[in-house]
């Protein structure tokens, strides 16, 4: 038998466990041109909260997944192949070869890295810093949700790109210490301690050049307040407002973007998948040497999928949240 996790109701504000259902179903059998994948790890991401408002009910949630081919009726896939696909919250998936990516197994690189620092989260960080914000050596960069999947990758990538100073914002003193002690941030802010704008100004007395925004709201306002002229903001996400029925008002200092000639640009990582080889070329040597880590929180068992998702939305993870099926 296989297990699937379905969304069965829409949330009003913060999601709850009763909006999901675990079902035992017959293990799928591949037909011609298909392969059966037994999933190993599933990605848990903030964007899934937005999908809950618009996705179909009564079907497994979509999401990035890593598994091994168990049975194949297509010569392009062989039993034992490690593959990436997007069929999400389930123990087994039927896939077509054109819908998967066969992954290498590189000594010194954990499999889970292909869902974290080498996956969509790492690629989001890389695209935001290099293609959207154009981070240059010596510049000061500020990263919100810095202890999450994208943020933990972004801090390490910014260091490899030659950033002069890396500042992160996170939701606890313990996570702030993790950013500086383990991930190479120069300083970290616990925004729950209050006075975010004042803390950021003290951390960046000469201002910031680049802001990678994963939160929106008060973090965006604080970043605009300390940004230097011709600074760049790469807007990746807004986890601070995903559970609110009404979007928060625009930052009070939004018009400062004009006076400071700041560029603010949103982006979707799906439009930049062609940069995946470039990301791997940069990171894999550093992963193998231990200079970059795949920062992850791993929940054991598919039956923990919903709890992992709800925990991630509440900031319960450090690094990328994953479920080991």
pLDDT in tens, 101-151: 999 999 999 999 999 999 999 999 999 999 999 999 999 999 999 999 999
pLDDT, tens digit, 9 for 90 and up, residues 269-317: 999 999 999 999 999 999 999 999 999 999 999 999 999 999 999 999 9
Q: Which helix (H) or strand (E) holds 37?
A: strand 35-44
CATH 3.40.50.720-classified regions of the chain: 120-270
Task: Return the closest-CA partner of residue 35 out of 86, 100, 90.
Answer: 100
| Topology of the domain covering 2-116+295-324 | Quinone Oxidoreductase; Chain A, domain 1 (3.90.180)
Phi, psi of 172 (to 5 degrees): -160, 160
- Which of 63, 100, 94 has its CA nearest to residue 82? 100
Looking at every residue in the chain, the average pLDDT score rounds to 95
Give 120-270's CATH code, choosing from 3.40.50.720, 3.90.1150.180, 3.40.30.10, 3.60.15.10: 3.40.50.720
Express each pLDDT in 69-88 by its tens digit.
999 999 999 999 999 999 99
Bridge partners of residue 253, in order along the sequence: none
CATH 3.90.180.10 domain locations along the chain: 2-116+295-324
Q: For residue 119, with 0-12 CB atoms within 10 Å meaning exposed, 13-18 middle and 19 or more buried, which class applies?
A: buried
pLDDT tens, 143-199?
Answer: 999 999 999 999 999 999 999 999 999 999 999 999 999 999 999 999 999 999 999
Record the pTM: 0.94
């Amino acid at each position: 038998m296989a297990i699937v996790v379905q969304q069965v109701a829409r949330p009003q504000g913060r999601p709850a466990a009763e909006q999901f259902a675990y079902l035992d179903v017959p293990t799928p059998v591949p037909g011609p041109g298909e392969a059966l994948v037994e999933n190993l790890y599933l990605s848990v991401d903030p964007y899934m909260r937005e999908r809950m408002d618009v996705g179909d009910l009564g079907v497994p949630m979509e999401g990035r997944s890593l598994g091994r081919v168990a049975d194949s009726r297509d010569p392009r896939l062989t039993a034992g192949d490690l593959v990436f696909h997007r069929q999400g919250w389930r123990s087994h998936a039927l896939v077509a070869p054109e819908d998967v990516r066969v992954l290498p197994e590189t000594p010194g690189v954990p499999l889970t890295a292909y869902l974290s620092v080498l996956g969509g989260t790492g690629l989001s960080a890389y695209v935001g810093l290099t293609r959207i914000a154009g981070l240059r050596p010596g510049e000061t960069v500020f990263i919100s949700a810095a202890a999450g999947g994208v943020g933990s990758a972004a801090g390490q990538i910014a260091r490899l790109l030659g950033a002069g100073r890396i500042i992160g914002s996170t939701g606890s003193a313990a996570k702030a210490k993790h950013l500086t002690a383990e991930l190479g941030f120069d300083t970290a802010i616990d925004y729950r301690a209050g006075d975010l704008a004042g803390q950021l100004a003290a951390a960046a007395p000469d201002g910031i050049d680049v802001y990678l925004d994963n939160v929106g709201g008060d973090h965006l306002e604080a970043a605009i307040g300390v940004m230097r002229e011709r600074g760049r903001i790469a807007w990746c996400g807004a986890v601070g407002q995903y559970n609110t029925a009404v979007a928060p008002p625009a930052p009070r200092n939004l018009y400062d973007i004009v006076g400071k000639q700041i560029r603010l640009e949103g982006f979707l990582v799906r439009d930049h998948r062609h940069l995946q080889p470039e990301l791997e070329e940069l990171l894999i040597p550093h992963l193998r040497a231990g200079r970059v880590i795949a920062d992850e929180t791993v929940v054991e068992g598919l039956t923990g999928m919903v709890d992992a998702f709800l925990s991630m939305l509440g900031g319960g993870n450090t690094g990328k949240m994953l479920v080991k099926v």
